[in-house]
Amino acid sequence: DLFAGPFDSGAGPLYVQLHRRIAQAIASGALRPGDGLPPERDIAARTGLSRVTVRKSVGALVAEGALIQRRGSGTFIAPPVERLEQALSLLTSFTEDMARRGRHSDSRWLARGLHAPSPAEVMALGLGAGDQVARLDRVRGSDGVPLAIERAALPAQLLPDPQAVGDSLYALLQARDLRPVRAVQRISAASLGAEDAALLGVPVGAVSLRIERRSYLPGGRIVEYTRSLYRGDAYDFAVELTLAP
C-alpha cells in the first residue's frame, strides 16, 4: 500500500516524503492517468500524517501538473499532455507552428526589454562594446498548457523597441523586413531545475530538450539568438533524411 508504512521523521520533511511516494507511484504506473486519489482524510488516516501535511503534498503535485483537482469530484492523476510533432527543417515561428495545427498559442512574458548583454550573447550576436540586446523571455503554450520556455536575444540595433513585440516576434520582424531566412539549431537534453520546472508545470528534474537557435537575415547578419527549453513529455522532433551524396 502506497499510503501505509512508516514515514521517517529523520528522512526530510514529511510532506516531501509523501509527495515523492505519490510521484513515484505515477511514474511507475501504479497510479494511472484518470485514477482518483483517495480523499485527503483517508490518506491522512492511512499514512498517519496530518491533513495539513497531506494537503501540502497534494497541493505541490497539483501545482506541478501531476494531479488535477475537479471541484466537487476530487483529485485525479492528470492525463499526459498530447504530444506534438515538430518539423525540424522549417524555419517557422511558435505562433505559426500552432496555427498550422489549428491551435491557439499563448505566451506569458517573463522579460521584454533592453539589457546589457551576457558574454554568451555578445559572442553569439557578435556585439561590440556598449551594444545592448533586446531580451524576450516567454513561457510558450497552447490552450493553457505550458510547453516551452523561450529566451530570445536580438541586437538592440535591430529591435530597439522590444515592447513592440506582441504575440509573435516573427510577425513583427516580417513587418519590418527583418524576417530571418536561415537558422542554425542545436538540440541537447537537459533536466529541469526547480524554477524552469515550475514555469512548465512539471516535476523538478523532468527532461526537456534544450534548443539553441541562431537566425540570420538574407545578408548573413544574425538577427536572433534564442535558447529554449521544450518539454520532453510534449514534443517529438521530426526531420526527413536524404541519402548522403
Copy the grid coordinates of residue 102. 489549428
Nearer to ligand 16G, 40 or 167 (CB): 167
CB of 106 to ligand 16G, least distance (A): 11
CB of 115 to ligand 16G, least distance (A): 17
Q: Are 189 and 156 in contact (CB under 8 A)?
A: no
What count of other Cβ atoms lies within 10 Å of the Cβ of residue 37? 22
User: Which is nearer to ligand 16G, 64 or 150 (by Cβ)?
Assistant: 150
- List C-alpha distances in Å: 117 to 99, 120, 132, 155, 202: 32, 8, 6, 9, 30
Nearest-approach distance from CB 147 to ligand 16G, in angstroms: 10
Which residues 6+ apart lie within 8 Å of 193 measured at CB? 204
C-alpha cell at 239: 526531420
CB of 16 to ligand 16G, least distance (A): 34
Comparing CB distances to ligand 16G, the nearer of 3 and 94 is 94
- We find the least distance from the C-beta atom of residue 126 to ligand 16G, in angstroms, to be 18
Q: Which amino acid is at 158?
A: L
By C-beta, is 157 or 185 nearer to ligand 16G? 185
Cβ neighbors of 199 (< 8 A, separation 6 or more) are: 110, 139, 146, 149
CB 224 → ligand 16G: shortest distance, Å? 6
Residue 57 vs 226, nearer CB to ligand 16G: 226
Rounded Cα–Cα distance for residues 196 and 201 (Å): 9
Residue at 242: amino acid letter: T
- Binding positions for ligand 16G, rule: CB under 6 A: 93-95, 150, 152, 168-171, 211, 213, 224, 226, 228
User: Burial level of 80, CB count in 10 A (0-12/13-18/19+)?
Assistant: exposed
DSSP letter at 167 equals S
CB nearer ligand 16G, residue 47 or residue 228? 228
